[in-house]
Structure 1
């Protein structure tokens, strides 16, 4: 009987974790303004950083627009810094979660599509991708900084948020041109 009860408890906790991740993945948490779990936040924040870095490396190489290249270089520098800070929180034991080790399929597909473009078409799509990515990052960091469950990660999200908001505004301004 004990084995069945333990198995049922593990199954229920796994189901609850999956349900929370599913609501985060589908955008339900965002629509309701609900903070993601620590695991979801770390996974999404680290994946977002990876996408920003990789798409911006492409922009440095492929964009013909100097303002875009300058913005892209800033994104690489800033997002490498936030990636390192997040890894430090995890390695110090202050945060118990696993960062993304590869881009999620949707982000990988977006990056692959971006890499196929050239010239002005590339720059336009890069600008659009930056607006979208930073809008999502601002939402994610805002929700976690307000109601996240890990105090150290919550403080880091709050500290990082103004830079992400600035990136978002810069991306919007570039996208208007």
Structure 2
């Protein structure tokens, strides 16, 4: 009798688990993992669409500008070297201008794109680390952070310039490649001095 009860409970549990399976075809696994049940109505909410390559690029570019501006604002107050402070002022202006150009290029996309300048975990960690430093130690850390950030940005711009899917963003990327290259060369010179 005890074994029959355990068997009956097991079958009931398996039957209930089977009721929760999605009825989507096997090839549509993403829709089943992204869709969620509305707790009020019990209806399935539509899956959130994945970001388009254009949106991803715009978000990455916006975050890059945001990081450059925020880290350079720190340099304006924490740097010891006049060269570092001057470079930081140039980066604030250049990346503020870049953000304005990005917004224009994104607005000209069809459909329009709104860049979201959310810093990556690595960018936020770098800012937090820079905030703990001052003087010559800050100058060295800032120069390294700027060199790394500009190299990553340059790589992203070159890739999107070559293979981008949104013409206005592709043009933006192409226009910025020589500017970011110049910034990278400037910061490499800064690190040597």
TM over 0.5: yes
Matched length: 156
Asked which structure has the greater CA Rg, the reply is 2
Name segments (4+ residues, structure 1) moved above 6 Å: none
Q: Distance in 1 between matches of 2:172 and 2:117?
A: 20
* Structure 2 unpaired stretches of 5+: 1-22, 35-46
Backbone CA RMSD of aligned residues: 2.6
Which of 68, 87, 99 pairs up with 1:71? Answer: 87
Q: 2:106 aligns to what? A: 90
Structure 1 range deviating more: 83-92 or 46-55: 83-92
- The answer to whether the aligner puts 1:150 opposite 2:178 as a matched pair is no
* Structure 1 unpaired stretches of 5+: 22-35
Q: Distance in 1 between matches of 2:80 and 2:98?
A: 27
Q: Distance in 2 between matches of 1:99 and 1:171?
A: 26
Q: 1:113 aligns to what? A: 129
Q: Distance in 1 between matches of 2:122 and 2:132?
A: 16
SS in 2 for 1:141: helix
SS in 2 for 1:146: helix
Q: 2:191 aligns to what? A: 175
User: Greater relative contact order (Cα 8 A, min sep 6): structure 1 or 2?
Assistant: 1
Decide which structure has greater helix share.
Answer: 1
